[in-house]
Amino acid sequence: MEKRIRKGVVVGGSIAGVSCAHALMVAGWDVVVVEKSCAPQTGSPTGAGLGLDPQARQFLQSWLSHPHLLHHVTMPLALDQNQATDSEKKISWTLTRDESFNFRAAHWADLHALLYKALPRDVVLWGHHFLSFNTAHDKSSVTVKAKVLQTDEIVEIVGDLLIAADGSLSTICRTFLPELKLRYLGYSAWRGVLDFSENENSDTIIGIRRAYPELGNCLYFDLAPGTHCVLYELQGKKINWIWYFNQPEPVLKGSSVTIKVSSDMIEKMHEEAEKVWVPELAKVMKETKEPFINVIYDSDPLPQLFWDNVVLVGDAAHPTSPHGLRSTNMSILDAGILGQCLEKWGLDDLSSALKEFQSLRLPVISKQVLHSRRMGRLKQGLPLDGHNVLNLKTASPEDCQLLQQRNMPFFGQVPSLVDSN
């Protein structure tokens, strides 16, 4: 008999979802991605800059027919520098510096477009709103129902495996863990990207390069009492910034962790930036069009990642704070390692494939989520078990070393199927 082609159904067409599509195709599977957005995003209101580690980049390049294109849409982050700013005197000084960081920075929309365009056209079903799923009694298949937004038609898609890549508010995850809730971390973040492609010699750009001389090669964390900011350059002459501020948990509307902001809120943010940061950084924030607020959540590590032939990946499996630059990297590694496991075990033993995937990923993502949580509290000046609140003016070199990204568990190498054999 001719060997049956295996089929995966991915819910969610973000970076996690399209990465899974690539990984399954490499493993010899058919795949379809169900995505409620009606078309690929050309911009990204909810995700701006991101940092890619070497291992994630290896997976990405293995999925591209022209791997060099990844280099073309990213900028180097060879340095990880934490510095402090005196808000009254408007002076800054270095706390710690890692000169062998070896990440690369990408704009969310650029990376997503690169991955999407490398897929066959019929893989992603745009404008399909996921409704529900049903697993066959013998666990041999799973059926997904989706609504075609353009026609209101209800369609059914049958596959051997359902991959939940539907984000931190995953409805699929809550089917199995109905009591699971996101954990508010005590702060939110203003985010923005300043496009200076048409005015690269402006006073603002000259000023920010003077204040942060290694932009274009460095991941800057700038700490002030009770707050911190992230700053780095993106390809295409853009500057990405994230400013974290402590506040009570806001009331969210709908299924997004992004808050719509008013002109008054933006104006107040500009005023506060002038009080806290050096003038050059405050000016970048002021000239950024359409800044937005992300409410920062994570989730306590899950007890498992799969149920029968349903598996969680990306933010559906591990909502995390952004301080360790892990969210996108974890999503890509989830996809790549899931593909390796599926290729190894094949359809005849899907259970063993998912068990091995879970055994490889669950210990890693659990430790990384918790470490990122601690790192965020440390940089925000919030109480932290086992540590005093970091005093930026009197911190010892040993205290400052805690701020470095390379303290992340599994920073150098995440276990994969290749390593375990």
At 81-130, the pLDDT tens digits run 999 999 999 999 999 999 999 999 999 999 999 999 999 999 999 999 99
Position 4 pLDDT exceeds 90: no
Q: Is residue 214 part of a domain?
A: yes
The secondary structure of residue 387, as a DSSP letter, is B
User: pLDDT > 90: what percent of the chain?
Assistant: 86
β-sheet bridge partners, residue 399: none
Tokens of 294: 């992300």
Residues 375 and 333 in one domain: yes
Number of structural domains in the chain: 2
Phi, psi of 318 (to 5 degrees): -155, 70
Q: How confident is the model at residue 252 (pLDDT cuts 50, 70, 90)?
A: confident
Q: Is residue 397 part of a domain?
A: no
Give all strands of the β-sheet with 91-98 in edge-to-edge order: 91-98, 79-86, 218-224, 227-234, 238-246, 183-195, 292-298, 258-259
Residues 53 and 96 in one domain: no
Distance CA 91, CA 244 (A): 19
Distance CA 154, CA 363 (A): 39
Instruction: Show the domain range for 293.
Output: 78-105+184-298
Position 132 pLDDT exceeds 70: yes
pTM of the predicted model, to two decimals? 0.95
Tokens of 413: 């190498």
Residues 263 and 137 in one domain: no
Give yes or no for a contact between 410 and 364, defined as CB atoms under 8 angstroms apart.
yes
Which of 274, 298, 322 terminates a domain? The answer is: 298
Q: Is residue 405 part of a domain?
A: no
Closest C-alpha among 166, 128, 161 to residue 331: 166
Residues 285 and 369 in one domain: no
Give the CATH number for residue 147.
3.50.50.60
Residues 293 and 357 in one domain: no
Does the CA dihedral 351-353-354-356 come out positive or negative? positive
